[in-house]
Amino acid sequence: MSFAFNFSGDDIDPDEDESASQGNVAASSTILPDAASNVPVQEHSLSEWLPLLPSRLSYATTPILSPSGQHLPLPRRELFDIRQQLMAEDNHALLTSLSTSDISSQIYEGGFKTWECSLDLASLLLDRCSKGSVDGLDGVANVVELGAGSALPTLVLFQLALADGRAVKFTVADFNADVLRLVSLPNLLLAWAKLKGKEGMEGDSGDLDVTEELVREFEGDLRKAGVEVKLLSGPWGGDMVKLMPQSVEGKSTLVLAAETIYSPASLQSFVDLVHGVLRGGATNKAYVAAKKFYFGVGGSVDALKASCREKGLTAAEVETTALNGMEEGVGRAIVEVQLSK
């Protein structure tokens, strides 16, 4: 089963067919299941996948502009570059899903594309977590992104942690292991290369040559900064909760998610997972960025808040008037979730 979110601006990749971005949502009559019982939760390491990267990554830069005017150019792997690798690997299932739909249940959950709510969250985090801010990374031990895909919110904090020498453990989770391998991990490498001013990263787009020396330097810089990265694939549920990072006394865990509540069928498992992470510490919190309502599918911010209340969580919309475009179309929101006092 597959469907497409046809909101204008959903997919910000410039090489996508804009003619598809008309109307609301084209969906099948069957709501997405939240998990595939035959898909296991798996942990993947940088040492496992870094050697598998192609010799060159093509990227385009996404400008992140915060409400206070801070600017951060984030490189992300180009969609055409991902397609080329999928063709080289003869991965017909993912190629077909990528070409014909935004979501293909139990095969592809939209992670190759970059969604507008992830930009909203990245912009907010650039202000809230910069050095010296109230939610700065000084007191953060763990950052977890659920349904990460291109992982723009994580990339903001990843760059900030490396720039400031903050020892933070990043857990990047997506249903699809190929999304982590082909998008999330390359984007982490590109973000580091941009921060270091590596050759090929000077412009708004270009290519990064991935050499063994570059990979060794990347891993070495992470070790020096005390930054760790763990990649998790598979469905939300108890098995994934078991692999979530442990809370650290005196520090907090920050959970990030964007465009993860579109399906009512998967909402409860998502909230259960968020609760499973937050209950490890009183200062833990989550930011969930989403459209206020997903026409044709049924998910909504109101449903998220109601589900959180039932689980003993407090969920409140963050003030976002300074973020551009949040009220356009169906409207978008960022919800802050914490344990109820």
Here the tokens at position 242 are 């078991």
* The predicted structure's pLDDT at residue 102: 52
The residue assigned the tokens 């598979």 is 234
* The predicted structure's pLDDT at residue 295: 87
* The predicted structure's pLDDT at residue 199: 96
| Domains of the chain and CATH, by start | 42-339 (3.40.50.150)
* The predicted structure's pLDDT at residue 78: 95
Calpha distance 26→274 (Å, rounded): 29
Calpha distance 122→72 (Å, rounded): 10
Calpha distance 278→204 (Å, rounded): 37
- Candidates 157, 147, 97, 98; CA nearest to 125 is 157
Tell me if 186 sits within 8 A of 168, measured CB to CB: no
Calpha distance 23→245 (Å, rounded): 40
Quote the Cα angle for 148-272-303, to 5°. 85
Q: Number of H helices and number of E strands within the chain? A: 11, 14
Quote the Cα angle for 37-91-13, to 5°. 95
Beta bridge mates, 288: 257, 335
Calpha distance 179→111 (Å, rounded): 6
Here the tokens at position 252 are 């907090």
The residue assigned the tokens 């998990």 is 35
Encode the chain (341 residues) as per-residue pLDDT tens digits. 444 444 444 445 444 433 333 333 333 323 333 445 588 999 999 999 999 999 999 999 999 999 989 999 999 999 999 999 999 998 887 787 676 555 555 544 556 777 789 999 999 999 988 876 666 788 999 999 999 999 999 999 999 999 999 999 999 999 999 999 999 999 999 999 999 999 999 999 999 999 999 999 999 999 999 999 999 999 999 999 999 999 999 999 999 999 999 989 999 999 999 999 999 899 999 999 999 999 888 899 999 999 999 999 999 999 888 787 787 777 999 999 999 97
Q: For residue 241, give the 3-state DSSP assignment.
A: helix
